[in-house]
Amino acid sequence: MAELLKGAPVAAALNEALSARVAKLAASGIKPGMCIVRVGARPDDLAYERGVLKRFAAVGIECRVLELAAAIAQQDFIEVIKKINADHEIHGVLIFRPLPPQLDEGIIKHVLDPRKDMDCLTPENVAKVFEGDDTGYPPCTPQAVMEILDYYGVELKGKRVTLVGRSMVVGKPLAMMLLKRHATVTICHTRTVDLAGVCRGAEILIAAAGKAKMIGAGFVSPGQTVIDVGINLDEGGNLCGDVDRAGVEDIVAALTPVPGGVGAVTSSILAENVVRAAEMR
């Protein structure tokens, strides 16, 4: 039976350190603050928002929520972002994505102040991730994966890591972060020839394709560490990952659960980014 690499203890360790940093800022008269910009009220956005608010309150970070109309025009949205850029009480901004079709992310990403970009939307922060520059703000989910690997002592140097997923949200930035740690990284996707065979050859397998339970017993091998980044609903409407947990947990050595794995750490990474932004100011 695989060891479960749960996110809760990782988040707890991060939160303890963050609380001390927030207290130090408070002694200097600085209150870390973030603004969530949400267009409309999608259920998944609201669920993540509740988790962020709870986590931020626990470590002493102020968080405002700005809900905008689902039909907001692009110029109006840009003006909102410009006002947030100029607000010195806001150290970080999280814009929930995907944005509705009338809003052009290709333009908006150039409007947001990179110093307040907490989830790697702006080109400046994306470039810093690809350059290995630690002064930027990496996307929260890939950084959460790195924190879990570190917490559980999973060695990366020289290891064969197969990453299923090539998005700019998870796959590509995570590949750069793994390469910086001297892993040997193979990026795959749903069109990779013999995807199952490539996955079986990895020592560390990371599933971030966004397809429920696509990684089954035929994709894994004994001794592997499997990190499941996926958040999906199965045929019964239950939350599940990209990995078929029941099919692989008797084969692999270690596995992150869904829920309770990577997702449990992401809001703590977001909080860490906000605290760092406040410290840098």
How does pLDDT run across 15-29, given as a tens digit for each residue? 999 999 999 999 999
In a domain, 20, yes or no: no
Adjacent-strand bridge partners of 214: none
Angle (CA) 187-190-194 rounded to 5° is: 80
**Overall domain count for the chain:** 2
Is 268's pLDDT higher than 90?
A: yes
pLDDT of residue 235: 84
* CATH code for position 93: 3.40.50.10860
Global pTM value: 0.95
List, for residues 132-156, the tens digit of each pLDDT value.
999 999 999 999 999 999 999 999 9
Residue 276 lies in a domain: no
CA dihedral angle for residue 47, residue 53, residue 58, residue 59, rounded to 10 degrees: 120
- Calculate the average pLDDT of the chain: 96
Domain assignment present for residue 11? The answer is no
Edge-to-edge strands, sheet with 92-95? 62-68, 33-39, 92-95
- Tell me: pLDDT of 237 over 90: no
**Residue 121 domain flag:** no
Q: Clarify whether residues 147 and 216 are in a common domain.
A: yes
DSSP state for residue 165 in the 8-state scheme: -
Q: Could you give the C-alpha distances from 106 to 109, 110, 127, in angstroms and in order?
A: 6, 7, 15
Q: Domain with 207 in it: what CATH number?
A: 3.40.50.720
Contact 101, 73 (CB under 8 A): no
Same domain, 78 and 165: no
Domain membership of residue 164 as a residue range: 140-263
The answer to whether residues 89 and 179 belong to one domain is no
Coil, strand or helix: which one is 254?
Answer: strand
238 and 187 housed in the same domain = yes
Distances (CA, A) of 267 to 186, 257, 273, 274: 27, 17, 10, 11
- H, E, C per residue of 60-123: CCEEEEEEECCCCCHHHHHHHHHHHHHCCCCCEEEECCCCCCCCCHHHHCCCCCHHHECCCCCH
Residue 19 in any domain: the answer is: no
Extract the tokens encoding 221: 């091998």
**Domain shared by 36 and 109, yes or no:** yes
